[in-house]
């Protein structure tokens, strides 16, 4: 488990900022871990602000909600620069679904951290094809602390790090749940991708 660094509550200590990233596949517990860290910061009576991309409306337009129904109040924002305006004076800023923002998220997180804010970003490290997703690779490179969490492969029960898309769409962004995605380990992800690549007549011969 990630142990939070000291948060510098000593009197007259200068505020220290840094960036934490929580990454992994879908269903790996990123949002749960983000909520856990933010809840603890609130218990420490710190000023906490939480943001998510306005396009993520899966469970709720405002709250950040995990697949396990844990939730925390958040502010949906369309572009990362809004976070700078809205987070002024916060000790801790949490951002969920970081992969859906553009690359300016990296600069926004840097500015917040430079100014003494603890920034925690949760997001998918890879898209449904296994490619690095949006601003996440640059955030992983520039964060002080990186936690990769894992789901359970729904095919074999091993540790899963891929989000396998079962829906037919080929758009990089497809909001979805267990009806659209499965957490899969590397061999089961590869097997699924190879099956998808087969012509449909061969596919039905393979699956029947
Ligand atoms: P993430 O934000 O990474 O998509 P969440 O924090 O929202 O994940 O949800 C994690 C929860 O999802 C787990 O605690 C578990 O209850 C549920 N879950 C559903 N499918 C899986 C799976 N294949 N592996 C692990 N957890 C799963
Ligand atoms: Mg999540």
Q: What is the pLDDT of residues 57-116, one digit of tens each?
A: 766 677 888 888 788 889 999 999 999 999 989 999 999 999 999 999 999 999 999 999
Is residue 127 within 8 A of residue 165, CB to CB? The reply is no
Architecture of the CATH domain 18-149: 3-Layer(aba) Sandwich (3.40)
pLDDT in tens, 12-56: 677 789 999 999 999 999 999 999 999 999 999 999 999 999 987
The pTM assigned to this predicted structure is 0.91
pLDDT reported for residue 63 = 81
Which residues lie closer than 8 Å to 177 by C-beta, 6 or more apart?
58, 67
- End-to-end Cα separation, the chain, in angstroms: 43
Which residues lie closer than 8 Å to 49 by C-beta, 6 or more apart?
75, 86, 87, 90, 92, 93, 94
Q: What are phi and psi of 16, to 5 degrees?
A: -110, 135
Q: Answer whether 98 contacts ligand 1 (Cβ < 6 A).
A: no
- C-alpha span between 179 and 174 (Å, rounded): 12
Annotated binding site for substrate: 173-176, 181
Q: Answer whether 152 contacts ligand 1 (Cβ < 6 A).
A: yes
pLDDT in tens, 164-206: 999 777 788 777 777 889 999 999 999 999 998 877 655 544 4
Ion ligand 2, residue ranges at CB < 5 A: 30-31
- C-alpha span between 33 and 23 (Å, rounded): 10
* Domain map (residue ranges) of the chain: 18-149
Q: Kindly state the DSSP code that residue 10 receives in the 8-state scheme.
A: S
């Amino acid at each position: 488990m990630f142990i939070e660094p000291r948060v510098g509550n000593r009197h007259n200590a200068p505020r220290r900022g840094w960036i934490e990233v929580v990454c992994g596949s879908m269903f790996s517990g990123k949002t749960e871990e983000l909520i856990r860290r933010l809840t603890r910061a609130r218990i420490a009576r710190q000023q906490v602000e939480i943001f998510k991309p306005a396009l993520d409306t899966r469970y709720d337009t405002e709250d950040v909600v995990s697949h396990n129904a844990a939730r925390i109040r958040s502010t949906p924002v369309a572009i990362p620069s809004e976070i700078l305006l809205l987070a002024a004076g916060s000790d801790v800023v949490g951002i969920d679904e970081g992969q859906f923002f553009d690359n300016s998220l990296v600069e926004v997180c840097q500015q917040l951290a430079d100014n003494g804010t603890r920034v925690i970003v949760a997001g998918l490290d890879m898209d449904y094809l296994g490619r690095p997703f949006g601003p996440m690779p640059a955030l992983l490179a520039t964060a002080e602390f990186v936690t990769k969490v894992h789901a359970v492969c729904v095919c074999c029960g091993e540790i899963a790090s891929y989000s396998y898309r079962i829906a037919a769409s080929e758009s990089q962004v497809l909001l979805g749940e267990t009806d659209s995605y499965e957490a899969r380990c590397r061999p089961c992800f590869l097997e699924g991708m190879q099956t998808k690549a087969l012509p449909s007549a061969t596919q039905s011969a393979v699956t029947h």
